[in-house]
Structure 1
Amino acid sequence: MLSVLILVPLIGAALIGFSPSGINGKFARGVALVFAIIAFLWTIVLAIQFHPGEITQQFAESVPWIDVLGLNYNLGIDGLSLPLLGLNGLLTSIAIYSSDESLQRPKFYYSLILLLSAGVTGAFLAQDLLLFFLFYELELIPLYLLIAIWGGEKRGYAATKFLIYTAVSGILILASFLGMVWLSGSSSFALATLNATTLPLATQLLLLVGILIGFGIKIPLVPFHTWLPDAHVEASTPISVLLAGVLLKLGTYGLLRFGMNLLPEAWAYVAPWLATWAVVSVLYGASCAIAQTDMKKMVAYSSIGHMGYVLLATAASTPLSVLGAVMQMISHGLISAMLFLLVGVVYKKAGSRDLDVLQGLLNPERGMPVIGSLMVLGVMASAGIPGMVGFISEFIIFRGSFPVFPVQTLLSMLGTGLTAVYFLILLDRAFFGRLSAQVTNLPRVYWSDRIPAAILAVLIVIFGIQPAWLAHWTEPTITAMVNSQNVVVAVSLEKAMGAKD
């Protein structure tokens, strides 16, 4: 059942890619959208049959692949991966729907988006270290091409920078995975059989450093973040939606699944440093966002800050904080995707994203009142206003992290205030006031431009009012994962105390 989620977009990519050369962009988009929606609906089918109370991997598939390498085709789904799969399916469908019908080389474009979706899905489903790495690398080339071919003026620079950073990320992750398997004496890369906790603490720390930097580049965390603003600014709007909404979550997912879960003793040892690192990312990302005049770059820097909250929560490693981390992944995916969609509409209709040029777009007669209203809602959600999903996810993170790291939590809470500052600057300069003389005769905004952001707005409000519908799938898995980590750490401390005695 899980392989269907991977095969459907792959089949769609093949059909579109090898279709007759005469098909137009509208037809290619329609076919791609059908396959994306099928994959998303299949995720919903799996969610209906999913049992949240079971902490083991469900719908597991295992097929021998390359025995000499210890590589098997192992797939599974639990409360950590299920919400992210749903997010990937939803945002892939929205990205395809939001793509321009008149873009060049549509067959190649939509094939790459579906291939990208298949790679992300496979990474979330993989229960084998080497299989995860293969899917993790699979999404690299499609995203590089999507930026390099359909990006802005500096697309070559931004795409190459992304490629280099992500390649380094993959090398570090692979080295850590190989080290865990070989040094622990495991006969395969399967997560179910791997036990890296038997390794000396120094070895665990060395492996964890590779995982932290590798996935820290993907998240991205300061100082490995510089590729992200460039990639967002040069990427088209649909690709920015996927990049911020889904692809960054591969990094936070990797920290939880392969860092905290596989190396709990080393994780507990470095947790105070990770919490401090989170504070730096939160405050630096927010401070840089305040200084921006490009709306898209401002939203890009906000992602750096909001991903820092996830690192803080995983460093604290309490059931409540880690639950908040997963909810923050989902909430950030919905909110950032909505903001990028709205910025894309503004740029498409007004021809600029510059806050020094735009003004008065909320004008009810000659501006974009509906787009402006949705932007107000998105800004409120990102700033953590109660009633929005951004509030509840950040509140759970802070509530779960404060008992462990009170100082770092309080400093991170400043980030929510700074978020309100830079987004209020965006609203004040671009949407309020008298309509700018430099932006006149705005084209009409159709409902087809509004629907994707409106769908995300509805979900942001629904999950904000009823967060239990989101936490329901994840809480048992997270609680079991954190309790297992605590047991390993407690046993190692007892052994250390016994050795001293």
Structure 2
Amino acid sequence: MLSPLIWLPLIGALVIGLIPKLSAKQAKLGAIAVSGAVLVWTIVLMLNFDLSQPGMQMQEYHTWIPTLGISYSLAIDGLSLPLVALGSLITIVVASNSEVGLKPGEALQRPQLFYSLLLIVHSGVAGAFLAQNLLLFFLFYEVELVPFYLLILIWGGQKREYAAMKFLIYTAISGILILAAFLGIAWLGHSASFDYSDINTAVLPQKAQLILLTLLLIGFGIKTPLVPLHTWLPDAYVEASTPVAILLGGILAKLGTYGLVRFALGMFPETWKLISPGLSIIAAVSILYGALSALAQHDIKRMVAFSSIAHMGYVLLGAAALTPLAMVGAVSQMIAHGLILALLFYLVGLVESKTGTRDRDILNGLLNPIRGLPLTSALLILAAMASAGIPGLAGFVAEFLVFQGSFSTFPVQTLVAILGTGLTAVYFVILLNRTCFGKLDNYTAYYPKVKFTEYVPALVLTALIFWLGIQPTWLVRWSEQTTKALVTAAVPQVEQVAFNSVDRS
């Protein structure tokens, strides 16, 4: 049941890319059809998923290269399923409105290549979330490297060459470190293969475990990214086109946090517990740095990019705390952040395409009901509230779970994280005050109207953010059992008291 999530978009990419003289409309419809089919299949998987089981489900196993210990091994659990669903949703959002951020009347250049790369990215990311063999994971992890490089390089802004090359170098270093760690884990542990189920890191000396875990932390920390491994992110997010920025923030960053939880924590639970105080400090620094950096930005797209660094810090804080509540909050934060960041980038793209600027000091009066962008501004206000953790929205649920679960273990770091949430509200209030309110310029402010079809992706994301905020069980139910099992492996003596996710949220 899992292979279609990988091979359907890959086949679709080949068909769209290789058919000669395919029109832009036909390429777009093909990408929508393929990504829509993948989304429907993901929903089928969710309906067949057993919420009471913490382990892997729907397993597929085929021998591939036995001499190297590589198998085609796929499975899904409560950690990977929500992320697969998020990736499927983000892909169809981008495919259905890939022109967002373009100037009025401007067409998407080289559409066949764009949609082919989009589907290849989805195939690689889905494969990474599903892979149960370390080298198979690495293969899928690297599949998205070149497509994203081309997506930034071809459709990016003025400094796209610099941003694309920086992204390529950082991501390549990330892959090298992760591969080195995987090889060390299998060879030093004398594993029969690279299958996740065959790996036994408990036989490794403590020093070896610490070295291998450090390699994974740096490798996945680059992808997340965490401070001080973040410097590629502002350039890549800002120079990328709006659809590509949505993919980077909504899907790619989750590969980093997924790797931290699945492999770093999952394979070295005791060593992770040993260094968790240091990880919590890194999380607090990332949160505070990202929030303060966002506060200093005038480019609203760059501000959203720095806010992403801060919100990824909440994931690390929850994982470092090693409590059931904090862990389920960390996974929930991955999903909530993906939805909110996708909505923010989408709306920033709409504003830029209609006004021609992203400078918050130039924009004003966008809430004007006649000549402004009233619905866009209203959705931007809601997205900002969700990012700031306002109750009733998905961001609040995830952050509250992390804070409540982490405070007993790391009270100081949790208070710093709460301060970061307060700073999030500050920089978004400044943004909204300067862009949405005030008077429009009577001479220049005659903005093109936003079509309803342009609003559809934003409205879908908004509805999900609302729904997950008022029905938090739909956010946490998928990962509750899996995250409890992860915590038990790291802290077996902890009292695993079952909690009601809805009441806690």
Structure 2 Cα separation of the partners of residues 56 and 211 of structure 1: 23
Partner of residue 103, structure 2: none
Partner of residue 439, structure 2: 434
Partner of residue 332, structure 2: 327
Partner of residue 96, structure 1: 95
Structure 1 Cα separation of the partners of residues 494 and 277 of structure 2: 15
Contact 1:357–1:436 at 8 Å: present in 2 too? no
2:62 is the alignment partner of 1:63: yes
Task: Pick the aligned partner of 1:244 from 244, 249, 262.
Answer: 249
Task: Pick the aligned partner of 2:412 from 407, 416, 420.
Answer: 407
Task: Pick the aligned partner of 1:292 from 285, 289, 297.
Answer: 297
Contact 2:488–2:494 at 8 Å: present in 1 too? no
Partner of residue 32, structure 2: 33
Partner of residue 8, structure 1: 8
Aligned-partner SS, 2:62? strand
Structure 2 Cα separation of the partners of residues 437 and 163 of structure 1: 45
Structure 2 Cα separation of the partners of residues 457 and 439 of structure 1: 30
Aligned-partner SS, 1:192? helix
Matched residues, number: 489
Aligned-partner SS, 2:259? helix
Contact 1:147–1:159 at 8 Å: present in 2 too? yes
Q: What is the deviation of 1:328?
A: 0.2
Aligned-partner SS, 1:59? strand
Structure 2 Cα separation of the partners of residues 413 and 153 of structure 1: 36
2:139 is the alignment partner of 1:140: no
Partner of residue 225, structure 1: 230
Structure 2 Cα separation of the partners of residues 165 and 18 of structure 1: 31
Output aligned runs, 1:111-150, within 5 Å. 111-150=116-155
Q: What is the deviation of 1:98?
A: 1.4
Q: What is the deviation of 1:210?
A: 0.4
Q: What is the deviation of 1:451?
A: 1.0
Q: Which runs of 5+ in 1 are unaligned?
A: 491-501
Contact 2:366–2:435 at 8 Å: present in 1 too? yes
Q: What is the deviation of 1:436?
A: 3.6
Q: What is the deviation of 1:126?
A: 0.3
Partner of residue 45, structure 1: 44
2:458 is the alignment partner of 1:453: yes
Alpha-carbon spacing, 1:118–1:438, altered in 2? closer, same or farther (3 Å): farther
Structure 1 Cα separation of the partners of residues 442 and 410 of structure 2: 50
2:278 is the alignment partner of 1:273: yes
Q: What is the deviation of 1:437?
A: 5.3
Structure 2 Cα separation of the partners of residues 328 and 436 of structure 1: 39
AA partner of residue 7 (structure 2): L
Task: Give me the TM-score of the superposition, normalised by structure 1.
Answer: 0.96
Structure 2 Cα separation of the partners of residues 402 and 437 of structure 1: 51
Structure 2 Cα separation of the partners of residues 168 and 338 of structure 1: 30
Partner of residue 191, structure 2: 186
Contact 1:256–1:314 at 8 Å: present in 2 too? yes
Alpha-carbon spacing, 1:158–1:437, altered in 2? closer, same or farther (3 Å): farther
Partner of residue 368, structure 1: 373
Task: Pick the aligned partner of 1:216 from 213, 217, 221.
Answer: 221
Deviations 1:141-167 (A, max 9, x none): 101100000111111100000000000
Alpha-carbon spacing, 1:439–1:133, altered in 2? closer, same or farther (3 Å): farther
Task: Pick the aligned partner of 2:425 from 420, 432, 446.
Answer: 420
Contact 1:120–1:136 at 8 Å: present in 2 too? yes
Q: What is the deviation of 1:103?
A: 1.1
Task: Pick the aligned partner of 2:394 from 384, 389, 392.
Answer: 389
Deviant stretches of 4+, over 6 Å: none
Q: What is the deviation of 1:383?
A: 0.3
Alpha-carbon spacing, 1:433–1:49, altered in 2? closer, same or farther (3 Å): same
Deviations 1:371-400 (A, max 9, x none): 000001000000000000000100000000
AA partner of residue 170 (structure 2): Y
Deviations 1:458-478 (A, max 9, x none): 000100000101211110111
2:259 is the alignment partner of 1:254: yes
AA partner of residue 413 (structure 1): I
Output aligned runs, 1:162-181, within 5 Å. 162-181=167-186
Alpha-carbon spacing, 1:351–1:8, altered in 2? closer, same or farther (3 Å): same
AA partner of residue 7 (structure 1): W
Structure 1 Cα separation of the partners of residues 244 and 323 of structure 2: 34
Structure 1 Cα separation of the partners of residues 443 and 255 of structure 2: 41
2:287 is the alignment partner of 1:282: yes
2:75 is the alignment partner of 1:72: no
Structure 2 Cα separation of the partners of residues 40 and 150 of structure 1: 25
Q: What is the deviation of 1:439?
A: 4.4
Alpha-carbon spacing, 1:395–1:489, altered in 2? closer, same or farther (3 Å): closer
Structure 2 Cα separation of the partners of residues 439 and 267 of structure 1: 56
Contact 2:131–2:137 at 8 Å: present in 1 too? yes
Contact 2:78–2:480 at 8 Å: present in 1 too? yes
Partner of residue 502, structure 2: none
Partner of residue 157, structure 1: 162
AA partner of residue 483 (structure 1): T
What is the alpha-carbon root mean square deviation over aligned residues? 1.2
Alpha-carbon spacing, 1:439–1:266, altered in 2? closer, same or farther (3 Å): farther
Structure 1 Cα separation of the partners of residues 94 and 246 of structure 2: 7
Q: Which runs of 5+ in 2 are unaligned?
A: 100-105, 496-505
Aligned-partner SS, 2:73? strand
Structure 1 Cα separation of the partners of residues 444 and 30 of structure 2: 36
Structure 2 Cα separation of the partners of residues 329 and 57 of structure 1: 20
Q: What is the deviation of 1:56?
A: 2.0
Structure 1 Cα separation of the partners of residues 489 and 281 of structure 2: 24
Partner of residue 19, structure 1: 19
Deviations 1:302-342 (A, max 9, x none): 00000001011111111110100000000000000000000
Q: What is the deviation of 1:485?
A: 2.0
2:308 is the alignment partner of 1:309: no
Q: What is the deviation of 1:131?
A: 0.5
AA partner of residue 290 (structure 1): L
Q: What is the deviation of 1:227?
A: 0.7
Partner of residue 497, structure 1: none
Identity level (%): 56
Q: What is the deviation of 1:99?
A: 0.7
Structure 2 Cα separation of the partners of residues 394 and 156 of structure 1: 36
Structure 2 Cα separation of the partners of residues 112 and 240 of structure 1: 14
Structure 2 Cα separation of the partners of residues 158 and 65 of structure 1: 36
Contact 1:265–1:489 at 8 Å: present in 2 too? no
Structure 1 Cα separation of the partners of residues 385 and 109 of structure 2: 36
Structure 2 Cα separation of the partners of residues 259 and 488 of structure 1: 20
Alpha-carbon spacing, 1:312–1:231, altered in 2? closer, same or farther (3 Å): same
Task: Give me the TM-score of the superposition, normalised by structure 2.
Answer: 0.95
AA partner of residue 76 (structure 1): A
Partner of residue 493, structure 1: none
